[in-house]
Structure 1
């Protein structure tokens, strides 16, 4: 990414965060009963500005959601829709979703990578105009050519060893160098035109497999170490285990066991015709288990209903959706002794808005514990969502769940690190905007904040 584009991105992210704060303040004012046209106009202007910037930089998810909000707000401004409670109730959670999307759209920082080798290839790619981006949750790494060349790394990838992650990034970089995303888009177009011809699908699958083998070979050739093939094979198995049913176009299907087997043989031996050794056999057994889990995920995804816009749903529909969601992790209290001092949703004179989490009494330096297993996705003294949070740690627990801890004195973890329930992750403090030392905890479910006390055991 060029320095000019980096500056434009930084400006967009900063202005968007300010815009979201303005949107939230305006929506809370509307929720409190202030029927003021200028408040609606200010929220509309903020949404319109974010939409414009997101569209310019190709952040389609942000642009799409702000377009929905903009349309709703325009109807409110024109008097085509009555300003009722359910309309505001639908828009407020969207602000939290936009914050999560904005956070996930920001480029990876070098400190988030596990070591010098992955940071080195990141610098090399940046010099070529290729950005690395972070994606919360599970999935497989993938490459995009538009709006700019970029490699997307899910949270699970950041937990890989340093050299292994370098190989994974090298594989995705090879896709961009070969222009595979463009070729895949063309093959999808041909497949759509000739959907009735099974031979076209088979040819496309063969071409994709050949591309994957070529990219594996390039990554291993640039690495040069004798055990790189084994490292890449282990990473491949791990990404299959973490993969969901919704795969990017460049990924092989979980049903293609033969393709997976061939790739592993090439990684480990460089020649698919050799007799597989014990390492290959063990990895193929693991692959079979991963494919079985992946196939079950695909089948479950195929049975799910289509996504809907973020508008109010009937109570019966919400019940069905709740039952279809993956079970929540088992969350433990983040402190050995817990005493709640401020509850979720409370509006105080100090903060002038609904409390986003739960505050616990804690002296400065008290150990903060991971509430459940997960991957650290942020550990920083400068949290992107605002300076008021102070020092922050965020953990991704999978299945759409994240926990956030703010106002910390310091932290004992790094982005990409795996933690277990009960592991010490930080010490409480009073950094940021506080009235004194305490622990602030937020719990997010699919990007929307929920009451931590409803889920802590």
Structure 2
């Protein structure tokens, strides 16, 4: 959800430059053409809101990650190696830092506040319109006669006509179209005819629905000032086009009388909705000039509209490169590398050079037998790289002396360096007492136990520092015993490969760690009771599927959890 929110916020932000470019381009094209066109400004509106419409589409298109050979090794490297030094002491001593919301959440909150204010202003305008409707009355048959005659000439069904003394001038309102007019209007037939024909032309053109759409867009994008300018220009273009249609219906001889009706309406106060009446001075001058020139039909310049639409291309390109995509991992490429390739790749993989190690090992040892010499080669490389802890673990599992091949490798890497004998295996911690952890952690299936893995997946470490329990995503995880939460966030020990991780201090030097959680339901410093929920099973971080990685620590050192935690035997 956070990725979609970020995509929407980015799209909303890009509507500002898009609307600004479309507005300026529209003004330039309008000045060049010498008249305003609704098609031009509708194209500018589309360009302005296009980034917001494109945001969820871009996020929905998945971005497949390329398959990696032996992906499980990369996923588990950071988890399975024994920790060199305890890190829990600093967590217990330091106070919990105040977690600040992400920038995306802060921006969303600011937008929500502005949206509420914009909605309140829109409700205020709606309230004024409803008041006019409440204080109006339905016109009787005799009062509707003029409207029905003019609607028949335009091949339109006569809309509802309501009369209200509070209306300053006639106007069309509502999605289905209702004309509200002052009662005094009917006392002047010529004036009433001009005004009613104008509103009927609005109804036939669908201008009121287009205005309502623009009003909704300016509410949603309340921060977009250029979009408001586009809507104002579009409103003026609709009026000029409607004036042209009205003069065609009334006859060219009515141009001056129609202009006089318009000027009379402009002296009235503004209505809360679209009306025959006032606009700004520039728009009034444009309308009167168009009417007096004979109300010539507005040319729909599709070329100008298309020129404005072209502006959406660079904006869409920028948005495509910036929008976060929904990542979908491709299926892991199952390969069967040779034993020497796997072992050497494991050694190089500690330095995040896995792929280079694969190609190098295949080129260097294309036909080497799978024997102890290749294992010794890996052990020697670990030692030469200064990875003593890993070398100790590998030596304990492989239990093989450094062979001639390892010496040859050392001579290639560092001619002056003598072969390094394998280090002694690290001493396992000796717990003084057993913790009280009787509760079940999660219902599931143990897929990888603690300890050496001779039949491990290709490329994965030889030693597994915890127990993996597979379960459906979202399965609740419980604390096995009472304790205090000392870590609850994304990542652990400086690496995000752990995903969402929780660590619980159970006292007397004992603690448990739970990695790859989908959600975290506790906070640092929180006291837990046995079987209290701490989160849910997931696949965050470096994980190939939904499971929870469980570790048991005693004084900062890993211990086999099978002898202490329920359900892991």
Instruction: Tell me if both proteins adopt one fold, taking TM over 0.5 as the criterion.
Output: no
Question: Shorter chain as normaliser: what TM range?
Answer: 0.3 to 0.5
**Superposition TM-score, scaled by structure 2 size:** 0.27
Larger Rg: 2
Greater length-normalized contact order (CA 8 Å, ≥ 6 residues apart): 2
